[in-house]
Chains A and B, each alone.
Chain A
């Protein structure tokens, strides 16, 4: 049975729309939970909450800086999940963090904590398919949808196996590189979306390197939608506040609605 993340994304697709998933760094500023609500109000179908880790190898400078700032202000996985529990965002939530955070907590305990906080999905970018076993057992038991990444370097056969094990959606990595805004959308973004669409019925979203509404529209045309991270987090770092971030997200929503 599909979980809340997958249901929300299918609903958007079935209605003929393109899905928008937005990443917000948990614990960044006092008003980050208001930002999550503003992002959902502005039209994000799912909100990803980054739980900062000391060594985020899949992240570029923007999300690194945001993670450092959140950690310096005392954010911990548990403080973030406590705040999420009371959030009532109005959209399904997924946590994005690195494997050692879950491993250190204990996989069962971490999965149960996510469920307890009302989180529906989880993305662990340094946990590739072959290593997912112990985690997905714990996550499945707790009813958490584990969203897997699929990269341009993967063979056809590998993409098939990733899609078969992914829950919620499959996260197509739009380019060779780490998170961050680029001046142009890589051609690999549409390529990975098309390749994934050929092998799965799961919603296919493209993220990494999708930084402007125009790039979002372009990346979404081949797949079912996009994940936007660094552009939003940069706006948070710049001090735009919940309303300012909401405006940015509304711009992405409008561009996707025009596809």
Chain B
């Protein structure tokens, strides 16, 4: 038994829904119907499974960290999404959505991206399936993740700069939605996380559940039982919900980790933006606040609605960590295990490291959602260049 499906209106408890301009409602309905049909179609499922295995490299391994476990006092296992093609868990969702878009007769993918990982994954799928691709990225993120910008261009995608607001992920989503309103007949909006209007939070989760299925089997094989704790970073929350899905029915603690400058659950109140009702960092008037995080992929003031629900019913809990703690964790994993993580999953490790006292003697599965190549230049700036 995994996570519950949303109501027909796309609600997880009070959260979720479909708050989009009228122009997009029929597109959301069509997408929902197409997704239901595709998911029930063995042909679609085997095509997707084939791509996940032979193109993306699934299953991703699970690595037991001997050195770090000794240092932290817990038994730490990493789910290695960093080893996927394109370098993160984003490819799981994108291959599903791209195949679905093709099945729906769409010829163009529109996407938003923060760190660039979802943009790269979308550009990759578009290249593979011979579709047009347009990725919106905030001006601030374009600067701090320039390698990924060039990757997307190499892959044949057009990268458009979002210049409004905070010029980060939130604004890239606004621009992608405006594009979709104008291009809905030929374009599919390939949303990168478990957010947005119904059916996205549910559909993206379903595409990411592969992560939870594998992690459950792998962790049981290593530990002989389910882990005590499963943890993952939370931006919109797709890698977290994916891995949580494998353990919701088990006696496993689920811990999502947000950046303290983008802690929608930790510091937000319920609101409606980008298509769904969820916890949201906002001011007293309802204006969305600008998030502030070292990690472009988590620099977002909202969170997927199902996480808000899991927090409300107490099935998962959400911690937050500072940029400084993340920088420490980034170096810790690099030095102790020879694995350079992306800044996003370094948040989950930062929590494990900070709360190590409460984890002593326990087993912890951490979703290493992506690799750190994209962040090396930024970290070189922060840490003061190439030392000798």
Chain B residues whose CB sits within 8 angstroms of the CB of A131 once the complex forms: 17-19
Could you tell me if A130 and B181 are in contact, using CB atoms closer than 8 angstroms? no
CB contacts under 8 Å to A, within B158-193, are 164-165, 170-171, 174, 177-178, 181-185
| In the assembled complex, A153 has its CB within 8 A of some CB on chain B | yes
Q: How far is it, in angstroms, between the C-alpha of A176 and the C-alpha of B187 when the chains are bound?
A: 12
Determine the main DSSP class of B at the interface with A.
Answer: mixed
Closest A residue to B177 by beta carbon equals: A57
Partner of A53, one of B23, B280, B286: B286
Closest B residue to A162 by beta carbon equals: B22
Could you tell me if A153 and B165 are in contact, using CB atoms closer than 8 angstroms? no
Could you tell me if A128 and B182 are in contact, using CB atoms closer than 8 angstroms? no
The digit string for A155-189, where 1 denotes a CB below 8 A from any CB of B, is 10010001000000000010011100000000000
The digit string for A139-164, where 1 denotes a CB below 8 A from any CB of B, is 00000000011111111001000100
Partner of A153, one of B23, B177, B271, B284: B23
Could you tell me if A148 and B178 are in contact, using CB atoms closer than 8 angstroms? no
Q: Distance (Å) between the CB of B292 and the closest chain A CB?
A: 15
Interface contacts (Cβ under 8 Å), in number, total 114
Could you tell me if A126 and B182 are in contact, using CB atoms closer than 8 angstroms? no
Could you tell me if B286 and A176 are in contact, using CB atoms closer than 8 angstroms? no
| In the assembled complex, A71 has its CB within 8 A of some CB on chain B | yes
Could you tell me if A130 and B23 are in contact, using CB atoms closer than 8 angstroms? no
Could you tell me if A77 and B285 are in contact, using CB atoms closer than 8 angstroms? yes
| In the assembled complex, B9 has its CB within 8 A of some CB on chain A | yes
Chain A residues bordering chain B, tally (CB within 8 A): 41
Partner of A100, one of B22, B27, B185, B273: B273
Q: Distance (Å) between the CB of B198 and the closest chain A CB?
A: 9
| In the assembled complex, B25 has its CB within 8 A of some CB on chain A | yes
| In the assembled complex, A213 has its CB within 8 A of some CB on chain B | no
Partner of B18, one of A78, A130, A178: A130
Q: Distance (Å) between the CB of A34 and the closest chain B CB?
A: 24
Could you tell me if A71 and B184 are in contact, using CB atoms closer than 8 angstroms? no
Q: B residues touching A (Cβ–Cβ < 8 Å)? A: 9, 17-27, 164-165, 170-171, 174, 177-178, 181-185, 270-274, 277, 280, 282, 284-288
A-B contact pairs, 27 of them (CB 8 A): A53-B286, A54-B165, A55-B170, A68-B164, A76-B285, A78-B285, A100-B288, A102-B286, A104-B285, A125-B22, A126-B21, A128-B22, A129-B22, A130-B18, A131-B18, A151-B22, A151-B23, A152-B23, A153-B22, A153-B26, A153-B184, A162-B22, A176-B23, A176-B182, A176-B185, A178-B181, A178-B182
Q: A residues touching B (Cβ–Cβ < 8 Å)? A: 53-58, 60, 64, 68, 71, 76-78, 99-105, 125-131, 148-155, 158, 162, 173, 176-178
- 5 closest A-B pairs by beta carbon, nearest first, are A104-B286, A54-B287, A177-B182, A151-B23, A100-B286
